[in-house]
Each structure stands twice: as structure tokens, then as C-alpha cells.
Amino acid sequence: MSSHPDVSRPRVDGPVFRDAMSRWASGVTVVTAAGRDGLAGMTASAFSSLSLEPPLVLVCVAHSSTQHDDLIAAPGFAVHLLAVHQRHLSDRFAQKGGDKFAGIPHEIGPFGAPLLDLGLARLVCERENAPVAGDHTILIGRVLQAELADGDPLVHFSRSYRRIVDH
């Protein structure tokens, strides 16, 4: 694959691409780690399982994120799959700047990663790899621990939170 774009191919406009991707419903996670100067965390909907053997997950971290360097450099991290009642965590960790952990109950887990209250699931991961792709780094983690709970997921679709309703 060439590293130079083919100028004869049409290119999707950035805002159109962003609008198209907003139509992809996804769960919401908060990713936390021990940073160089304190705790780091961010809200992420670009999260996925990657492999069952070994158990791997990935989360995409924008280069522009103030949390990027700390999350990518950490030897391990935690991924919190949020339940519908945890919208406040999604909102808090989506903010730029400030102490995201102030007033948020947490304990320190493996790799120094902050562990938030359990929503639907909490994964503790060892950093496996972090390749760069476009304007993001793909943080790949090997899942070492998984905790599960029942509940309804916090879902994001078309730039707002949604609920899954049984029909």
C-alpha cells in the first residue's frame, strides 16, 4: 500500500466523515492510567475487543488529547464499560483540563491505574502495543483481569446519549 494518496481518488470531507461516524451507535468507556504527574483518564467510544487468544482490546487515543502521552506511556491501564447511570463519568472524563478525579470515588489498581466504580465491566490491561494510525494512537492492551456486573449500557449515537429499549 502506498504512503502517498492517489490524487485521482475522491476524498471525503472531514465534517461529512464525522457526521457519518456519529451514526454508529457505540458503548461508552472511560480509560484510566497512572500518568507521569498524576492520574490520567479520558472518555472513549472508539473501543473494541481485538483478540480472544490472547485477550486483547484496543482504544483509540487522539494525538490532540491532553491525556494522550500519559495513557500511551503507562505500562497498564483500566477500561471501564459504563452503565446508563454513569453518564456523569462520561461527561467528566470528556472534559479538557482540570482534575478529572476530584470527587470521583476510585481506588488504585494494578499498574497504578485508577479503578472507578464498577458499571457493566472493568478490564485491567497491560500495555501490549501502541501503533500510530492517522491522528490517533491505537492503544492495545492485554486483558489481565475482568469484572462484570448487570445493568443497561450507556450508549452514544448521533452526538447524544441514548438508551437501549427492548421491543
pLDDT in tens, 72-92: 999 999 999 999 999 999 999
pLDDT tier for residue 3 given thresholds of 50, 70 and 90: low
Q: Which domain holds residue 43?
A: 26-157
Place of cell 497498564: 76
Q: Which residues of 85-106 are buried (b: 16+ CB within 10 A; e: fewer)?
A: ebeebbebbeeeeeebbeebeb
pTM value is 0.89
pLDDT tier for residue 7 given thresholds of 50, 70 and 90: low
Residue at 66: amino acid letter = T
CA distance 130 to 140: 6
For residue 124, give every residue at least 6 positions away whose Cβ sits within 8 Å of its Cβ, in sequence order, or none. Answer: 76, 77, 78, 109, 110, 111, 113, 115, 143, 144, 145, 146
107 domain-assigned:
yes
Q: What's residue 19's pLDDT?
A: 80
4 domain-assigned:
no
Q: What's residue 97's pLDDT?
A: 83
Q: What's residue 68's pLDDT?
A: 95
Q: How many domains does the chain have?
A: 1
14 domain-assigned:
no
Q: What's residue 114's pLDDT?
A: 98
106 domain-assigned:
yes
Q: What's residue 23's pLDDT?
A: 66
146 domain-assigned:
yes
35 domain-assigned:
yes
CATH number of the domain residue 123 falls in:
2.30.110.10
Cα angle value 37/40/42 (rounded, 5°): 155
120 domain-assigned:
yes
139 domain-assigned:
yes
Least confident of 10-24, 45-59, 95-109: 10-24
Q: Are 54 and 101 in contact (CB under 8 A)?
A: no
Least confident of 21-35, 77-91, 105-119, 128-142: 21-35
